[in-house]
Amino acid sequence: MRGPHNIWRLIRTGATFVRSRAMHQALEAMDAPPRLRALAYGISWPFAWLGYKGDESLPPVTRAITALGPAYIKFGQILSTRPDVVGEELADQLRVLQDKLPPFGSAIAKRMVAEELGAPADELFMEFSEPVAAASIAQVHSARRADTGEQVAVKVLRPGIERAFTRDIDAFYFVATMIERLSPSSRRLRPTEVIKHFESVVMGELDLRLEASAASQFGANTKGDPGFKVPQPIWHLSAKRVMVLDWAEGLPMGDREGLIAAGHDTQALGEHVLQLFLSHALRDGYFHADMHHGNLKVAANGDILAYDFGIMGQIDEYTRRVYAEILMGFIQRDYRRVAEVHFEAGYVSADQSVDDFALALRAVGEPIFGMDAGHISMARLLAYLFEVTERFGMQTRTELILLQRTMVVVEGVARSLHPSINMWEVAHPVVEKYIRENLGPRAALRDLRRTVQVLARFGPELPDLLKASLRRQTEPAVTPPTPRRWPYVLLGAGAIGLVMIGVILGDLL
């Protein structure tokens, strides 16, 4: 599958951008070097006639991306939240990728509902609207349940979407493999692992049963968060290619003028959406990893409504603590501590200099403080950060890809609502609270209590495990030594002591 035939796919990709007149606009918006522009044109223009035609009513870049398929659309959705990277004009054009793509017919959607749920759509729903939103993977219809009369959202996968994604990801794997072979220095970025991670995320998004489960889990985690609501799935009306959720009524978060006209405080909304993301990532280790404008609404009472839970991120507790310490170090401008955390976590090799790394991090962080976000070029900041990671040999950490990507997207959403937002100032109270609750003495006692509980469960097996270990160490001796009783006495006493400590800590905490 991942052979040279993908070269044809890549040629058609470049040709599509040339044919739609998107190449020039995209490279100019991202301030690409003149040599790169010339090279891109030189390779692609002879093959322009091979490019996909696309929808001529759409702007050039949007036309090219939609013609190329869902994986490219996903990338365009990310860029649509970063006007500081691609420019305001291009970001506005790309926002149609979030939920305004060409829909497929309602008759097809009803047929899929019948196939997946085992009953005709007209029996399950007394009303079934035309598509109200259409994105890269699925589209949504408003409906009214026949049994309760309740208004719901019916999400239906696009026909043939699995095959389309497989084709695109196959081409991405080919590119990643070629990059690793032709550029050994790029291997630290682990491009193949990055694509593998992307594939696992996308394949999970193509099973709406998993999305329903994610919505249920996310709703349970966040039910106590003020000003935030998560529509819940209706399980008996959900299957692999069809999912039914509570209806979420509100204004699109991307419509800043509409929100202002409705009396909403867009500055407060921008700060709130950023703090919510950080809270979910740090507190729960489970966060919405596709928080672009198209997946967020604002209810009449000001609540933020999130939906589309096909991509969710998870990070373990240790990684959350590392991430929080790094963020707090930047917030406090303690670059030495940020550098030390990177070394302690193994993100940077021990043979590198902590002092040099701290100095490089200072050059990344200092431009942020005391400035309006509108005057900071995130593109240049990311480019310099990339240079720093290359210089110190940091490898891409696939478990953090979703976290890092979503941080970029959420900051873009927040900035669209509050252009002068400073993410570090807004993040400070959330990160500080997490560190206070999870890195202080109380957290240490809580960790000790968990350790005691685990040891207590395995306590009865510890003597046998120790015996087996001692037996392996003494083999192949002909006559085994007489076993000593003191290791077991100490082990038993220690286990009893730990259990007692656990009981005491349970009372205290």
Catalytic annotation, residues? 290
Angle, in degrees to the nearest 10, between helices 441-458 and 486-508: 130
User: Which among 249, 253, 247, 244 is positioned nearest to 274, based on CA atoms?
Assistant: 253
With a CB cutoff of 8 Å and minimum separation 6, the contacts of 422 are 368, 371, 372, 373
H or E element that contains 321: helix 317-331
Rounded distance between C-alpha atoms, residue 318 and residue 167, angstroms: 36
Measured over the CA atoms of residue 59, residue 64, residue 65 and residue 69, the dihedral's sign is positive
CA 153 centroid distance within chain:
24
Rounded distance between C-alpha atoms, residue 291 and residue 270, angstroms: 13
272's torsion region: left (phi>0), alpha (psi -120 to 50) or beta?
alpha
- One-letter identity of residue 403: L
**Looking at 426-472, which runs of residues are DSSP E strands?**
none
DSSP 362-376: HHHHGGGTTS-GGG-
59's torsion region: left (phi>0), alpha (psi -120 to 50) or beta?
beta
SS (H, E, C) 204-243: HHCCHHHHHHHHHHHHHHHCCCCCEECCCECHHHCCCCEE
Rounded distance between C-alpha atoms, residue 312 and residue 417, angstroms: 23
With the CA atoms of 438, 441, 445 and 448 taken in that order, what torsion angle do they form, in degrees rounded to the nearest 10?
Answer: 80
Whether the bond between 476 and the residue before it is cis, its omega within 30 degrees of 0, is yes
Which ranges in 2-118 belong to alpha helices (H)? Answer: 5-19, 22-29, 34-44, 60-68, 70-79, 83-86, 88-94, 96-99, 106-117
Residue 414, CB-side half-sphere exposure with 13 Å CA sphere = 25
Measured between alpha carbons, how far is residue 341 from residues 71, 321, 335, 337, 345 in Å?
A: 35, 10, 10, 6, 6
